Structure 1
C-alpha cells in the first residue's frame, strides 16, 4: 500500500489562521454556521478547508468532505493547487481536487473539492441535499457576486429543511461581518447571529504612496478609460521599478487596459505578464508560480480584479492601483447588459494593497488624490442590485421560490429587475403562467448558461444540429477579441482556424455545450425536484403548465427534435455560417433583431437605435441580429459590438413573440395617421392606410397631439384669450370654484372642456377650427351658480367717468385699466374687482395714448402726481383740457375747442 505524502508542516505552521481554527471548529460544532474574517495571506482559503476535512491538524477527528466555492476559475484552480502542495501531493486530483466549467480534476480520495460558485449552484439544483458533503466554505463573500449570494441563500434553505448537519462558513478578508452573521444565523441552530471568528494576520507593513496624475483626466464612462490615465499608470509602474525592490502587481479594470499598458511598458526592463479571466490557464499558472530562480528578471504583472482575492503572486513587493474596477450594469429599458467602469471601493483598495505585503514589507502606489480616498464607496455594489437577474430568476424558480421572497439574501432583488427577468423567462418558455419552471426551463437551467443562450442552444440545435449550435453559442458566451471584428460569422471562421487562447477556450466550451445539449436531450429531465427546499410541488408531482409557444420551438418542449439530440440536420442544416450564427444570435436576443434605417444605423425590435462602427462589414445588411451592444453615456443609440446578418424570415421566426398586427392610429408628423400595421416589436414590417379608423383611437391620437404640440392647435380668438386670462385671474385670487386654466391643467383634463369637439374632430384641421373660448366656457362654475358673477368679479370692460367702456387687460400680474387722463377727472377712488379684493392698476395715458403715469391709488395721484403730468403735457397738447383742479373738472373724451 502506497503511503500518503507528508504535509509541509513548516508551511502550514506559518499560516496565521491556524490559531483561529479551534474556535472555528467549536462554533461549527455548536451552531453549524460561522463567519470567518481573516486578512489576506493568513491561510483562510487553504488551511481552513484542510483542517475542516481532517487532512491536517490533530488526528482522531472524523474525516469530512469539504466543498470550497470560489468566485472565479483562476482562484479555484490556484487554491486547489496550493492545498495539494501543502499536503505534499504533486498534483491536483488526490485528496484535493477542483471543478470549474469545462474542467474537473477529482479522484476517489478527494476530501476537499474547490469549485466555482456557478458549479456549486448547478450541483445544488441537481442534488439539494449535497449527498456526501459535510461542509461548504463560501470564500471571498465580500465580493458580493450574484452566484455567491444565491448559493448562500440555497444552502441556508438546505440547512433549514434537509441538512441541519451541513456546516456552512462565509469567509472573507474584508466584509460586512455583522450582515453575514445575521444572514447565516437565519439558518443556524439556536437562533441569533452566527458566530464571527477572526484571525489575526502577520501583516507586513505596506507604505501608501499617493501618485495622482499631474493633469486632470476624464472620468470613466461605459467601458472607456481616458488614455491619459493609462499613460500615467504606466509611468507610475516605471517609477515603482526605479524606487522599490521586488516584482510589481498593477491593477487595471479590463483586458483592453491591460493590453494598452503592456504595450507602453515594452522597454521597461522587466518581464510583463498579464492575468485576467480570459488568459490561458498555463499563463495564469506561470504568473502564480513566481520567478524561476534568483537570477530571473523582475516581473510586472498586469491584472484585473481577479488578483484581488484568493491568489498570492510570489515575489510581489509593490502594487500599483489605478483605482478603477468593472461592474455589471443592466439597462432594463433597452434590454442591454454590459460591464461599466467604476471607482474601486475602499474594501477593494485594501485588498489590492494587501497583495504588496503578503510576503514582506511592501508599497502601494495609488493613482488618485488622497483627498478623494474617503469619498470612495465602502464596498463594491452588490451584483444583485445592478445586474441582469434573468439567470437568478430561473435559478429561484427551479429552486421552488419564483419570487425569491423566501430566500435569505443580504439584499433583496429589485422589483423592476425581477419583473424584466420574468418577462424574458416567460417569452423563452422557461417558466409558465404561475412562474414555475417548465420542463424546458429545467433543461435550460442545467446547461450552465444564461437562459437566453440556453434557449438559443436548445432551439438552435433542433434547427441546425447540436454541434453547429454549440459552436455559435460558445461565441456568444464569451465575446471574441476585438480584433476578430464585429461580424459574428467572420469571428466564427476566425475562431475555427485560430491558434490563440480565445480559440482554444472556444473549442473547449463548444465541446462542452455539444455534450451538454446532447445529454440533456437524450433523456427528458425530471421537473423541478419535489424534495427541493422551498418547493410547493408535492412529491412525485410535476409543476403544471407547459412552455408557451416561442420562436424556434415548433415541437412540444417535452419532445426534443432529432437535431436537438445531437444528430441529423435541422431545418437549416444546409445553410451557411451566416445563416446559422444569425439564427442562433436572434434566438438568444430576439428583441435585438434590427432593421436598417440609414447608413450604419439600425432600429432594434426593442425600440433602441443601434449604430455600426466606421468600416464595419455589416453596414449594407438589411437585417441584423445584434449579439453584443452597449450604450455609451449620453449617446442616443447603442453601439453594435458584435452582430450577424439575418434575413427577414429569420428575424420573424426568432422574434415571433414580438410580432403584432393591427390598427394603429396615432399622432405623427403633426397630424393623425391611421394605418393597418405589421410590426416586429418597434420595427415596422408593412403598413397601409386605414379608411375608417376607430373613433376612440382617433380621439386618443388627437389628445396625444394636443399634449405633444400644445393648445396652440386650437383657434384662440382675442375673446378666447381674454376669457382665459379672466379665469386665470379669478383662480389666482379666489381659488375654487374658479377653474385652473393653465396649460398643464387643461391638457390633463381635455375631455372636461373639449370633449364634444374631440368627438367631432378627425384631423389637425378640425382642431384648428375649434373656438377655444366657447370650449373654455364649459369650465365656468355653472353648478354652483358662480358663473353668473363672472362679469361682476372680473369684468371685461369698466365704465369710466367720461362714459367710455374701457377694456381691462388681465394679461398682467395685476389687471390693468389703460385710459386717458381727461376721461378720469372727478374719479377719486380706484376701481376694485374680485369682490373688492384687487384694485385695478390704472395706466393714465396722454392724448396720444402714451403712458403718462401708473397708479393703483387715484386719490393720491390727483394730489401728488397730476401737477407734474399737467406741467409736462399741457404745452404739448394745448387743445385738451388741463384743469388745475381735476377733482372738480368734467371728464371728457374731447378737446377744449369744438370747431
Structure 2
C-alpha cells in the first residue's frame, strides 16, 4: 500500500520548489535539512518522479555506510508500498537488490566510486544525491569531486545534490561551483539537555583505549535515563568493544520494562542484518540500543525518546613514522553531538544525557576531522591516479590532501605496481581500483591469483577480536563460524574470487597507463592455511614483515612490536603484521593480528625493500666498516669491509665527533687555553674572531681539521690529532688580526711585582687573574684584557684565596684592612703595609727585602 500521506507530511516538502529551481538553474544544490525532515527519503523519490509527478528519472543516492544504504532503500520502498528491488533498490559491497524497473538506487559511496571509475559518464543516471556530507568521509569527498568533474566536462545535464543535516554549507556550495544553498525547516521536538559527567575524573582516551571507569559511568547513566524517562534509550559509544562492555554491565533491566524486561540491542557496522532490521522497526517492549556513530544520521530508530551520549567517536589516524594505520578514539564534535541529540526528538519531546560537563562542551571541535586530513590516503591516491589526476590538484575538494600523506601513498602504490614513477595508473592499478578493497589487499589477491581470497576477505572485514591474533587460526575460526560475521566473510570471499578471475581491466581513465604492467603470481597450489595466511599478509603489508627478536619483533619499517603473552606466534622466527596499535605510554607497537611465515616468503614479498650496501658507521665507539644485506630495517647478514671509501670513513668519524664530542681529539693544556682565549674574544669583540663552540667547530670541520681528519681511519687516529695546532687555522690571518691575539687575549700578564701571571679564560664573561696580595701593591686600577676588567682573585702567601675583586682601588680602601688583620699574624715574614696603594709590590718575604 502506497503511503502518500506519510510522504506529504515530511517537512522537507516545503523546500522542494527551491530545490527544483536550483537544479534547473545551476544543476547542483546544497540541501541543509535537520534530522527527521525526510531529506533521505522524499527528495530522491521526487527527483525520480516517483512522488508528486514529474518526469521519470534515474537517481543514485550515496550513503556513507552499508547499514544506512539498506535502511534508506527499505524505507523508501515501504513508503511506495513495495519491496526493495522494485522502484527502489540498493547496492552495497557484496549485495545488490536492484530490478529492471528500479529508478532510485541507494549505494555506498565506495560503490559509487567504483561505478564512476568504470563509467565516468554514469550512463543512464540523471541525478546523484550525496547524503550525510557532514561526516566528511574520504569516499564522499572523492565522489563529490569526481561528480563535479563529470558534470563540468562530460555531463552538464547531470544533477547533483549534497545533502546533510549539519554541514559546512558554504564550503560545499563552493565545491559545486557556487551552487545555491537550499534550507529546509525542521519540526524536531524539543530535546532537554541533561549534563551527566562522572563523579570522579576519568582518563582521556588514548589510541583505541577508553577508560573502563567511563564505560561503567555510561552504563549507570543508561539506568538513570530508564528510571527518569519514558521511551527507548539510544546510547552512543565509540566502537564495538565499548558496546559489548556496556551491554555486559547493564545486566538485568527488568525493573524498567515490566515483566518482559528491557531488550538490549547492539548496532554497528558488523551487526547482523537481522539485528539492524530489528532496531529500525518498532519494538514490542522497551529497548536500549547501544550504537556507534552509524546511528547518528540516515537512520530513524522508532520509539527513541532518550539519548545517552558518551561523547566519544572513532576517527582514522595514520602514524607515518611507524607505518601504522588505525582508528583512534577522540572527543566527538559539536556537530556530531547535535546529530546524536536530535535522535531523541524525532518523534516526540525527548532528552539527551551528555556524559561530560557544560564547560567541556564549549571546547569541543565544531566538526569532525575530515578523513582526507587524517586518514591513510593510499586508496584515495589510487582513485585519483585512475581518474587521471595523480596529485588531485585539479579536483574540487573541500580540503586538499596533505602532501606528506600523498607522498606516502604514492610510495605504497609504486611498490605494488599500481602507478608508474610519474604517478600515472598502470593496468594493474586499474584492476586494483576495481576490487573494492584497500590496494594493499588487492595486491595480495591478484598476486595469489585469487587463491588468497579467504584471507583477504578476513582482513578487509575486520575479524572479531575473539578470533585472536593469529591470522591462520582466525581463518579457521571464520570457516567454522555460524555468526553474522562468518556469513558476511563468506559472501566477501565469493565476491573477491569472482573479481580476481576477471583479468581484463575496464577502460582506463585519462592519463592511465597501458595496462601491461603485472607482477608474477605466486604458486599457491596446496598451500596450508598457515602458509597462505603468511603469504597474503606479507604481500599486503611488506614493510610490516618482521623478524623475531626476543620478546618482540622488528618490522622492516623500523618499528618494534610486541606480541601478547601466550600468543601462538611467539615461536615464529618471522611474522607479517596485519594490525597493530601503540598502547598508552609505550614506545613500540602491539601486534593485534599477524601471520607466521618463513624467510623465503618474507624476502620475496618485500623484495623491493631488499638492499645490499657498504656501510661505514661510527658504532660502539669506533669506525665499523661492513657489507650489509637488509630487508628494510632488518639486518639479514654482514661481513667486514676491507677497503671502505675514504669519504665514508670521514663521515663516520664526523658522526663519532658529534656523538661523543671533540674530546676525542688530543687537547693539550695549550690547546685548551687557546680555545678559551678565542671564545673570550668572540664573545666580546665578535668577528673576525671565530666561534669555537662544539656546534660551530663541527660545522666548520673543513676549515680547521683538515687534512688530519682526511688521514684518520679510526678512533685512535682522532686521538693523535693536535687540536691546538688545528685551531690556529681559524685565526683571522687574512685580515691581519691574528697577530694581535697575544695583545688582546694574552696567556699571561705582568703584574706590579714583575711576575708574568697566567690569565684564566674558563669563564669568557669575566676572565680571572689569581695573584698574591703583595704582588699587586701600588696598583690602583684592576688590569684588563681587550677592554674587559679581569676578576682578581687575591691570594695569601700560601696561595689560598682571601678576596675577590674587580675594583682594586675599592678593595685597598675598604677590604684590605680586614684581610691584613687576619693574615699578618699568620704570615709575619711577608709585608703587610698599612697603605697598600702606596706600598712597593713584591713577591718576596721581608727578610729578602731587607737584603
TM-score per shorter chain, which class? over 0.9
Report the equivalent of 2:751. 800
TM-score w.r.t. length of structure 2: 0.97
Report the equivalent of 1:201. 186
Alignment of 1:627-638 (within 5 A): 627-638=578-589
In 2, Cα distance between equivalents of 1:267 and 1:734: 83
Shift of 1:863: 2.5
Report the equivalent of 1:334. 322
Report the equivalent of 1:47. 42
Q: Which of the residues 577, 587, 592 maps onto 1:626?
A: 577
Q: Which of the residues 73, 77, 95 maps onto 1:103?
A: 95
Q: Give secondary structure in 2 for the equivalent of 1:618.
A: helix
Q: Which of the residues 345, 354, 358 maps onto 2:333?
A: 345
Q: Which of the residues 9, 24, 27 maps onto 1:29?
A: 24
Shift of 1:603: 0.5
Report the equivalent of 1:114. 106
Alignment of 1:231-242 (within 5 A): 231-242=216-227
Q: Give secondary structure in 1 for the equivalent of 2:653.
A: helix
Taking a change above 3 Å as real, the CA distance of residues 382 and 518 of structure 1, as seen in their structure-2 partners, is same
- Whether 2:775 is the aligned partner of 1:823: answer yes
Q: Which of the residues 48, 56, 81 maps onto 2:51?
A: 56
Q: Which of the residues 146, 158, 164 maps onto 1:166?
A: 158
- Whether 2:734 is the aligned partner of 1:783: answer yes
Shift of 1:891: 1.0
1:544-565 superposed Cα distances (whole Å, 9 cap, x missing partner): 6954x8xxx23xxxxxx6xxxx
Q: Which of the residues 123, 129, 133 maps onto 1:141?
A: 133
Shift of 1:381: 0.3
Report the equivalent of 1:183. 175
Give yes or no for contact 1:438–1:527 (8 Å, CA) kept in 2: no
Alignment of 1:65-80 (within 5 A): 65-80=58-73
Report the equivalent of 2:809. 859
Q: Which of the residues 475, 492, 508 maps onto 2:475?
A: 492
Report the equivalent of 1:373. 361
Give yes or no for contact 2:11–2:187 (8 Å, CA) kept in 1: yes
Shift of 1:787: 1.3
Shift of 1:309: 0.7
Report the equivalent of 2:484. 501
Alignment of 1:741-780 (within 5 A): 741-780=692-731
Give yes or no for contact 2:430–2:505 (8 Å, CA) kept in 1: yes
Give yes or no for contact 2:829–2:845 (8 Å, CA) kept in 1: yes
In 2, Cα distance between equivalents of 1:870 and 1:666: 62
Taking a change above 3 Å as real, the CA distance of residues 234 and 526 of structure 1, as seen in their structure-2 partners, is closer
Q: Give secondary structure in 2 for the equivalent of 1:676.
A: strand
Alignment of 1:675-690 (within 5 A): 675-690=626-641
- Whether 2:826 is the aligned partner of 1:876: answer yes
In 1, Cα distance between equivalents of 2:137 and 2:514: 32
In 2, Cα distance between equivalents of 1:527 and 1:880: 107
Shift of 1:777: 1.8
Shift of 1:396: 0.3
Shift of 1:794: 1.0
Report the equivalent of 1:583. 535
Report the equivalent of 2:290. 302
Give yes or no for contact 2:428–2:515 (8 Å, CA) kept in 1: no
Give yes or no for contact 1:76–1:100 (8 Å, CA) kept in 2: yes
1:68-97 superposed Cα distances (whole Å, 9 cap, x missing partner): 0000000000000111111121x1001000
In 1, Cα distance between equivalents of 2:515 and 2:340: 50
Give yes or no for contact 2:427–2:514 (8 Å, CA) kept in 1: no
Shift of 1:120: 0.5
Shift of 1:254: 0.3
TM-score w.r.t. length of structure 1: 0.92
1:153-201 superposed Cα distances (whole Å, 9 cap, x missing partner): 001100110011111111100001111111112xxxxxxx211110111
Shift of 1:735: 1.0
What is the RMSD computed on CA atoms of the aligned residues? 1.4
In 1, Cα distance between equivalents of 2:470 and 2:641: 40
In 1, Cα distance between equivalents of 2:730 and 2:634: 42
Give yes or no for contact 1:629–1:641 (8 Å, CA) kept in 2: yes
Report the equivalent of 1:567. none
Give yes or no for contact 1:661–1:676 (8 Å, CA) kept in 2: yes
In 2, Cα distance between equivalents of 1:694 and 1:109: 75
In 1, Cα distance between equivalents of 2:506 and 2:188: 51
Alignment of 1:470-485 (within 5 A): 470-485=453-468
List, as ranges, runs of 4+ consecutive aligned residues in structure 1 with deviation greater than 6 Å.
none
Shift of 1:752: 2.4
Report the equivalent of 1:397. 385
Q: Give secondary structure in 2 for the equivalent of 1:17.
A: helix
Give yes or no for contact 1:66–1:113 (8 Å, CA) kept in 2: yes
Q: Which of the residues 244, 265, 269 maps onto 1:259?
A: 244
- Whether 2:426 is the aligned partner of 1:453: answer no
Taking a change above 3 Å as real, the CA distance of residues 545 and 846 of structure 1, as seen in their structure-2 partners, is farther
Worse overlay, 154-163 or 754-763: 754-763
- Count of aligned residue pairs for this structure pair: 841
Shift of 1:378: 0.5
Structure 2, unpaired ranges of 5+: 255-261
1:587-606 superposed Cα distances (whole Å, 9 cap, x missing partner): 0000010001112x100001
In 1, Cα distance between equivalents of 2:524 and 2:47: 54
Report the equivalent of 1:230. 215
Shift of 1:883: 0.8
- Whether 2:272 is the aligned partner of 1:280: answer yes
Q: Give secondary structure in 1 for the equivalent of 2:241.
A: helix
1:646-702 superposed Cα distances (whole Å, 9 cap, x missing partner): 100000000000000121111122221111111111111111111121111111111
Shift of 1:414: 0.3
Worse overlay, 570-579 or 480-489: 570-579
Report the equivalent of 2:683. 732
Give yes or no for contact 1:456–1:473 (8 Å, CA) kept in 2: yes
Give yes or no for contact 1:433–1:545 (8 Å, CA) kept in 2: no
In 1, Cα distance between equivalents of 2:659 and 2:684: 30
Give yes or no for contact 2:427–2:515 (8 Å, CA) kept in 1: no
- Whether 2:644 is the aligned partner of 1:693: answer yes
